[in-house]
Amino acid sequence: MPIIQTNPLGFQWDVLDPFLFCVHHNDAYPAGDAQMALPATARAGRQIGQDFSNKDGFSMYHGGVDSGVPGFPAHPHRGFETVTIVRRGLIDHSDSLGATARFGGNAAGGDVQWLTAGRGIVHCEMFPLLSETTPNPLELFQIWLNLPAKSKMVPPHFTMLWAESIPRHVAVDTRERRTEVTVIAGALPLKDSALPLLLPLKSPPDSWAAHADADIAIWTIRMAPGAHWTLPAAVGKNTRRKLYFFSGGAIEIAGKEIKQRTSIELRGNAGVTITNGDAEAEFLLLQGRPIGEPVAQYGPFVMNTQAEIKQAMSDYQRTQFGGWPWAGAAPTHLRERGRFARRPDGTEEVPTSA
């Protein structure tokens, strides 16, 4: 049986080593005001600065205290990586390295920011409500990928993967029904193709994903109604994987019907055929070889021992991980600014369709 277990999806999704955390934000923000903020009338009744209520279909999260913009103002990380996949809307990023960016969903798909916290970084992720006349939907995944002990204190690293460059593959079954796979990390084996593998863009240099034998894969999958597709077997014999069925109606795997909003732990050593039902279905796949080391966590710090956690807290209090070079804790960019990234060295890049 390819299915090990299934669990319902809550707000925070259950994950397997080497992953630490996964959450799917899907917020139906209304029209913003002149400051790209949530209008004061829509903020009423919310615990601003700590709003995870999903009232009226959205949350402010830790944002809104000063600017009224939803999101996550400046906060620290150490010892792991964040992978942020934006499907709709835009994120304004700023960090203690001096890097800044605006990235998000667009006609080409979704941008991905991959941030290696390493020995320490402070960053903010704000969700500007650019339109004053129409809704501002936002949808994203944030995934935390652990770092092995030898890499916990590497220098922080900022990486942007623009939607226009992220590899995608469309498989067509015998009834001409399509399955599209977006390859963020981990090579996708291809059948009936001149190329045996669809290779991802390069992972950050100190990431667990940069180790070939780590067998990391981060893929999003969209299946047309009635489509059949076989998820290929993982390369590594110790690879563990979870398939998160977050949108659709029902699917069938090995004769078992599974409804949407379900996480499915699958055996990694065999291909698994998925048969979709009558509605378009969407999935996130997370897989990898476990790091297999002790995990000590306190909020945004993930190390191997409690002594290292105490040291992380002390270091942050003493150094602020390099300090915060921005005027406020929740900076945003000009309304008319398109997608871009400015790296710590001051070089700037703009995706081709920005």
Question: pLDDT tens digits, residue range 119-135?
Answer: 999 999 999 999 999 99
Q: Report yes or no: 165 and 44 within 8 Å, Cβ to Cβ.
A: no
Question: Residue 180: its pLDDT value, please?
Answer: 97
Question: Residue 108: its pLDDT value, please?
Answer: 84
| pLDDT interval class at 52 (50, 70, 90) | very high
How far apart are alpha carbons 66 and 6 in whole angstroms?
A: 41
| pLDDT interval class at 183 (50, 70, 90) | very high
pLDDT above 80 for 354: no
* Average pLDDT, integer, range 163-191: 96
Q: Give the CA angle between residues 178, 183, 184 to the nearest 5°.
A: 145
| pLDDT interval class at 192 (50, 70, 90) | low
Phi/psi at 212 (5° precision):
-60, -35
pLDDT above 90 for 193: no
How would you classify residue 52: left for phi > 0, otherwise alpha for psi between -120 and 50, otherwise beta? alpha
* Average pLDDT, integer, range 88-107: 96
CA dihedral 327, 330, 335, 339 (to 10 degrees): 100
* Average pLDDT, integer, range 284-289: 98
Look-up of token digits 């999704």 = 13
Question: Residue 224: its pLDDT value, please?
Answer: 98
Tell which residue, 145, 95, 80, has the closest CA to residue 308.
80
| pLDDT interval class at 50 (50, 70, 90) | very high
Question: Residue 273: its pLDDT value, please?
Answer: 97
At position 205, the amino acid (one-letter code) is: P
- Counting beta carbons within 10 angstroms of the beta carbon of residue 323, is it exposed (0 to 12), middle (13 to 18) or buried (19 or more)? exposed
Q: How is residue 25 written in tokens?
A: 């934000």
Q: Report yes or no: 297 and 253 within 8 Å, Cβ to Cβ.
A: no
How would you classify residue 53: left for phi > 0, otherwise alpha for psi between -120 and 50, otherwise beta? alpha
CB within 8 Å of 120: residues ≥ 6 apart: 76, 77, 78, 156, 312, 315, 316, 319, 321, 322
Question: Residue 28: its pLDDT value, please?
Answer: 98
How far apart are alpha carbons 161 and 171 in whole angstroms?
A: 23
Question: Residue 87: its pLDDT value, please?
Answer: 97
Cis link prior to 39 (omega < 30° from 0)? no
How far apart are alpha carbons 156 and 118 in whole angstroms?
A: 5
Question: pLDDT tens digits, residue range 208-263?
Answer: 999 989 999 999 999 999 999 999 999 988 999 999 999 999 999 999 999 999 99
**Percentage of the chain exceeding pLDDT 70:** 99
Work out whether strand 281-288 and strand 240-247 pair parallel, antiparallel, or are unpaired. Answer: antiparallel
Q: How is residue 76 written in tokens?
A: 């620290």
Mean pLDDT of the chain: 96
181 has which bridge partners? 169, 221
